[in-house]
Amino acid sequence: MNIFFSKQFIWEIARIITVGVASILYYFEIIPLPVLLAAMAFGLYSLLKVAAEDLFKERKIGTEIFITIAVIISIVGKEYLAGSVVLMIILIAEYIASASGERARASIKELIGTVPKTAIVKKDNEEITVQIADLKIGDIVLVKAGEKIAVDGKVVAGEGTVNQAPITGESTPQEKTIGSDVFAGTIVELGALDIQMTKAGTDTVFARIIALVEEADAQQAPIEKFTDKVASWLIPIVFVFVAGVYYLTRDIKLVIALLIFTSPAELGLATPLVTIAAIARAAREGILIKGGKFLEELAKVNTIVFDKTGTLTIGSPTVNQFEIIDKNYDANTLVKLAASTDRRSSHPLAKSILTYADNLKIIYPEPESFDVIRGRGVAATVEGKTILLGNKEYMTESKVSGQISTQNQTDTALYLSVNGTLAGIFYVSDAIRPAAKQMIEGLRKSGVSKIVMLTGDNEQTAAYVSKQIGITEFRANLLPEDKINIVKEYQKEGQKVAMVGDGINDSPALMQANVGIAMGAMGTEAAMEAADIVLMEDKLEKIARVRAISKKAFSTIKENIIFGVGIVHVIGITLVLLKILGPIQAAVIHLLPDTLVFLNSIKLLRIKIDGE
């Protein structure tokens, strides 16, 4: 509640009190009319200023203009007390609306937390406290049990248990030892860590999360733009309607009451508060949504496309088997040639070959030359031999001699050729992520009609993985550029498409999709930039969670518009026309939709959402 009485609202509170006290004193004939009019002018000033800015700068007519006209009409019609009471109640409504928005925004930082302003730094065997702004890359920061980590960095000494919930939403603490990455905003629960700083201040993952969530408020949802348009269409109709009523009745009080109930204010509140609350709720669970636009788009998605490697699978492939094709070579020689060829590659499959060679304690030299063939494999010169290592298509296109077939139909096959002849085959597999099947089932229940897996692997491997997790449609043997074309293909068919990938190799497809979702992006700035929704840890269930949050948010917006705005206003206008309600009662009831919209919106921060 502190936000409602903060310094930023001091003038709003002063205006409400001034107009209210003046109205009471005038009612008891303690103050003359000029004093009441002066108090009304003080109260009306802020509304008049906003109305003028809206009209001349934004080219729009907001609720402030309606209320200003209503108050002026009350004065012209000598309904002074009615005008002052209406003004006071409207000022209260405007104050509640503004403070509610700030409270919802403040909840984001409350949910995520803060980082310390100072840190203990080790220098020359001494421990000194310094401001975060004074830290330099490479400084050693000491963090003890119970303290928050103030910087991003690597552990260089000590060990401990760190709660990463402020970033990932994961409540289970993580063990950190020498070499582990740690992040600002997380908490050391046990032990003590010496952390070599790599990032601080606005460069940390934590600061980036805060920035992204705050920037998200500016990304209007399509329904928000629609409500703004509806409000702009209604305004001229409303003025004509009110003018017609006055022409027929000559009733000033009736006109004032109608202007209050025909104000489009709540249409403007119906969406932004829900967006802020939903984004805050998602951030608490380690999910970053970059704006209401993507929240609404995800709720409408009917097709989800998954990249296989690193998304549906763990992304750490291992060599399960090695088959010698050319008997002129022994296994160790071929593994050495393959490892040398892959030594300069950063691809996950290359790492599996290097790990396999390391486990066999095979020493492999630097290649004399090295080249990456996009979507196919690598080529290198090792010890004077021309080595190719890649998929079946690469071997066929390179006219490699030998029978290019596999005995293992479920693992990914990496073919090794030496001087144009097939010499061996590595069989590599990547474990399917836990809960992948349940996640797919959950998405189908939520209304996603088409789920597709994309992969550069062969048909057999793709069929095996998709069958294991319950996906019936897949595309195999894809080049990276094929993925964006597939997304475009579905969009041309009228599908609303979400793409789920790692945020780096899939960046073009993520950006093309209606909603791009990057997994496991903690510490990966490229992923944060490429995707519309960022999952801070590699947990597939988060995809179903963010879908559930988006659908709940969208349904809440519709509730706000229908019940919080539509029904209350229709009933109010009807009762005013029947002369059951006057201006003061109308102003009091005008508080109701504001309050309903606020309460209905912030419930997203607390209520249980399907899937929990």
Indicate which residues carry an active-site annotation. 307
Whether 415 and 398 have beta carbons less than 8 Å apart is answered as no
Residue 347 CA to residue 372 CA, distance in Å, equals: 10
Nearest to 502 by CA among 482, 486, 490, 517: 517
**At 73, which helix (H) or strand (E)?**
helix 63-76
SS3 218: coil
Enter the tokens of residue 557: 């917006």
What are the C-alpha distances in Å from 129 to residues 198, 268, 294? 18, 47, 42
Q: Locate 155 and state its tokens.
A: 């552990």
Longest dimension (CA), the chain: 112
Q: Hey, what long-range contacts does 498-502 have (CB within 8 A, 24 or more apart)?
A: 498/297, 498/298, 498/301, 498/303, 498/304, 498/305, 499/304, 499/305, 499/307, 500/304, 500/305, 500/306, 500/307, 500/311, 500/543, 501/306, 501/307, 501/310, 501/311, 502/307, 502/310, 502/311, 502/315, 502/527
- The Cα–Cα gap between 336 and 358 comes to 10
Q: What does each C-alpha distance from 99 to 9, 86, 490, 587, 589 come to in angstroms?
A: 8, 20, 43, 19, 19
Q: Do 147 and 187 form a contact (C-beta atoms < 8 A)?
A: yes
* DSSP conformation class of 172: S
- What does residue 561 show for φ and ψ, rounded to 5 degrees? -70, -45
Which residues partner with 127 through β-bridges?
Answer: 122
Secondary element (H or E) of residue 254? helix 252-261
Q: For the chain, give me the number of helices (H) and strands (E)?
A: 22, 20
Q: For residue 603, what is the DSSP state?
A: G
| Alpha carbons within 13 A on the beta-carbon side of 254 | 18
CA atoms within 13 A on the CB side of 138: 0
Is 161:191 a contact under the CB 8 Å cutoff? yes
Q: What count of residues does the chain have?
A: 612
Where in 255-408 does DSSP place strands (E)? 287-289, 303-307, 318-324, 369-373, 377-382, 385-390
Tokens of 67: 């209320």
What is the C-alpha R_g of the chain?
Answer: 32
- Indicate the SS3 state at residue 116: coil
- Closest residue by Cα to residue 282 from 438, 169, 435, 171: 169
